[in-house]
Structure 1
Amino acid sequence: MLLTMKIFSFLLLILGLTAFVPKPKLTNVKLGSGLTVGVPAGFMPLPDDGIAVKYPSPRKPLAVYSDPSGRVDYSVAVRPTTFESMDYGVLLKIYKSSIQRLYSKVDFLKEDIRTVNGRDFIYFEFVSTVTDTRRGSQLAPIKKYQAVQYAIEGQQLYVFTFVAPAEEQAKWQPTAQAVMNTIALK
């Protein structure tokens, strides 16, 4: 009985302390018909020329928001797909493999199919490392903390990506998780 009371008291203490942790401040932004996302306070939209420099690709993201330092980004991309949401189990494995091929090393923190605002998403949270393997190179590895969420609507694949320097993971992880939990796609 005494042990149960101690455990219960400890749990109440932990619950009480976590209740006072400030939640990240987000601003809801409508990015098109049926898509609303939460953007961290202080993040600004990157103009088209900034997107072209930071994300050189034939298919530019739908939107990119950056913190004032330009080191942390939240992007939303839309691509055509022939897959359907019932394929999420297979896609989880395919996307995980794709992520692993993109980087020298990947440490997955979470990988899941989860429901946010009544919609299923494929979710990955990881720390990526890119190492320059050229002979004689003395460049330090680049490590990034990333949260990536995928959803299929019709014949469109939506990709939501939050990227921050790995050394700032503790600072940005609650914000990344909050951002991913505000996506409303109808």
Structure 2
Amino acid sequence: MRILSILFFLTLSLVGLAQPAANVKLTNTKLGTGLAVGVPSNFVAMPDDGIAVKFPSPRKPIAVYTDPSGRVDFSVAVRTTTFESMDYAVLSKVYKASIQRLYTKVDFLKEDIRTVNGREFIFFEFVSTLTDNRRSSQLPPIKKYQTIQYAIKGPEVYVFTFTAPAEEQRQWQPTGLAVMNGINLK
């Protein structure tokens, strides 16, 4: 009887932790002609100087939204591409290899070509680990939970990235998946 009670309370606590993506509140945000994204309601737009510090690159994202702690981000970037939409199967392999080269270790949870709001996307969900392998380094590995979606529109590829600390994956996974399902690219 005691074991049954413990199992019951354990099940209830696990159900409470795993919130379905449908419960995530998103705010529809228009980023330009033909592009709207669902942003978690408590996220704020990162200012340009914050983007420049957190994403140091000559090709900065067109928008970055962050949670109040600044540890979880959703970014949207646009890059020029020579690929066409019919190349999604090939492009998926190219981007997977690119992701694997960026990190010391990548554990893919899901990879797919899927349709969201009438548009095809290449989708990856994974946990990345980046280790500083210098002999003098005392830094611990950086582990992140990430979802990334790619879509081609004309000569451009749109890159949507949701990133959270790996130790908070259970908390942020429903939000990351909801955000990816809230993209509307016409």
| Same fold per superposition (TM over 0.5) | yes
SS of match in other structure, 2:100: helix
Question: Amino acid of the residue matched to residue 124 of structure 1?
Answer: F
Residue 123 of structure 2 corresponds to 123
Residue 164 of structure 2 corresponds to 164
C-alpha separation in 2, matches of 1:138 and 1:59: 31
Residue 144 of structure 1, CA deviation: 0.1
Residue 106 of structure 2 corresponds to 106
Residue 111 of structure 1, CA deviation: 0.4
C-alpha separation in 2, matches of 1:155 and 1:77: 14
SS of match in other structure, 1:143: strand
Residue 24 of structure 2 corresponds to 24
Q: CA RMSD in A?
A: 1.4
Q: Is 1:76 matched with 2:76?
A: yes
C-alpha separation in 2, matches of 1:85 and 1:62: 22
C-alpha separation in 2, matches of 1:83 and 1:136: 42
Residue 95 of structure 2 corresponds to 95
Q: What per-residue deviation string (whole Å, max 9, x for no partner) do you get for residues 117-161 of structure 1?
A: 111000000000000100132211000000000000011100000
SS of match in other structure, 1:60: coil
Question: Amino acid of the residue matched to residue 28 of structure 1?
Answer: N
Q: What stretches of structure 2 of length at least 5 have no aligned partner?
A: 1-14
SS of match in other structure, 1:168: helix
TM-score in terms of structure 2 length: 0.88
Residue 146 of structure 1 corresponds to 146
Residue 182 of structure 1 corresponds to 182
SS of match in other structure, 1:99: helix
C-alpha separation in 1, matches of 2:140 and 2:60: 28
Q: What per-residue deviation string (whole Å, max 9, x for no partner) do you get for residues 35-84 of structure 1?
A: 00000011000000000000011111010000000000000000111111
Residue 12 of structure 1 corresponds to none
Query: Sequence identity of aligned pairs in percent?
Result: 74
SS of match in other structure, 1:89: helix
Residue 11 of structure 1 corresponds to none
C-alpha separation in 1, matches of 2:144 and 2:167: 8
C-alpha separation in 2, matches of 1:125 and 1:156: 22
C-alpha separation in 2, matches of 1:121 and 1:30: 19
TM-score in terms of structure 1 length: 0.88
SS of match in other structure, 1:157: strand
